[in-house]
Amino acid sequence: MMDNLFRFPTSRSKIQKNEARSVKLADRIIAYTLVRRNRKTVGLRINREGLTVSVPLQATLSSIERVLHNKAGWVIGNLDAWKEKRIIQPEWCPNSTFWLLGDPYRLALTGLDKLQMVSQDNKVDQVQEIPSSLAVLTSCQIEKFVMAWYRKQAMAHMSERVALYADKLGVPLPRLRLSSARTRWGSCSSHGTVCLNWRLIQLAIPLVDYVVAHELSHLIEMNHSSAFWKVVESIYPDYRQAQVELKKIG
């Protein structure tokens, strides 16, 4: 569900403690996390942590289970799909591949005691001298180098895209911050600060642009109304296709 990627902070006073529950769907016992919030509808979300059911504060268990039974096919299908996905952890070692704006870069350790990020066409993007006293680089040292590269690239590229879309919308250039959120690509505060997930820098440029356009549109419409989507469409006409692609990525 796309709106979960761009949700806004909710007051702690309006959220109750998460509750672990289970329900029988199609002869299977399905575990889920029940979250009561100040909302009007029941929302279902499935990710690597499993099924999360967000409900209004006063929703009864019978009404919640009725929704789950009505959505049983969707729930079971998506839970099975997640089980089939391979969660690939980065390999923090020389010759590993890291993605930048949809293109692969190779982490290379040269014979000159230099650690480099090298593109497919052998363009060297970042270089770091390695002390000759280090016979072997640790995974932590490599991770630090790669993350510094990613954040440098993210801030440079996203600053450029934010400026571009702010100009398209005719709004003041907002303050940009990089985030490490695990459940959303971006957010926009009522004070005009845009937060973009640094992981976006791994995706293709059109997807980065969509998230930037989405968040900057909140500077005009701080909601997800039809008026908001008209603003998005005015600067990013193919936003629906970008939503589909982001949903596939998760």
Is the C-alpha dihedral spanning 206, 156, 224, 19 positive or negative?
positive
Is 121 among the domain residues?
no
| Domain end position, chosen among 84, 115, 130 | 84
- Please compute the mean of the pLDDT values over residues 97-123 and round it to a whole number: 77
Q: What is the pLDDT of residue 117?
A: 83
What local confidence, expressed as pLDDT, does residue 1 receive?
39
pLDDT for residue 55 is more than 90: yes
| pLDDT recorded at residue 132 | 44
Average pLDDT over residues 137-153: 84
DSSP symbol at 163 = H
State the pLDDT confidence band at 66, using cuts at 50, 70 and 90: very high
The structure's pTM equals 0.61
**Residues in contact with 30: Cβ distance below 8 Å, sequence separation at least 6, in sequence order:** 22, 23, 24, 51, 68, 75, 76, 79
Residue 175 CB coordination number (10 Å): 12
Number of domains the chain is built from: 2
| 154 and 234 inside one domain | yes
Q: Are residues 153 and 239 in the same domain?
A: yes
Asked which of 1-10, 12-21, 77-86 is least confident by mean pLDDT, the reply is: 1-10
Taking only the tens place, the pLDDT of each residue in 237-248 is: 989 988 888 887
- In a domain, residue 235? The reply is yes
Residue 95 above 90 pLDDT?
no
Which of 84, 118, 152 is the C-terminal boundary of a domain? 84
Concatenate the DSSP letters of all residues of 153-176 into one string. Answer: HHHHHHHHHHHHHHHHHT-PPPEE
Backbone angles phi, psi at 185, to 5 degrees: -85, -25
Final residue in a domain of this structure, among 44, 64, 84? 84
Answer whether residue 110 is part of any domain.
no
100 within a domain of the structure (yes/no): no
Q: What is the pLDDT of residue 90?
A: 58
The confidence score (pLDDT) of residue 98 equals 84
In this prediction, residues 27-42 reach a mean pLDDT of 90
Residue pair 22/29 in contact by the 8 Å Cβ criterion = yes
Residues, the chain: 250
Q: What average pLDDT score do residues 191-210 get?
A: 91
Query: Are 188 and 219 contacting, i.e. CB atoms less than 8 angstroms apart?
Result: yes
The pLDDT value recorded for residue 101 is: 87
Considering the chain, what is the average pLDDT of its residues? 81
Within 10 angstroms of residue 124's Cβ, the number of other Cβ atoms is 13
Measured from the Cβ of residue 178, the count of other Cβ atoms closer than 10 Å reads 16
Q: What is the pLDDT of residue 210?
A: 94
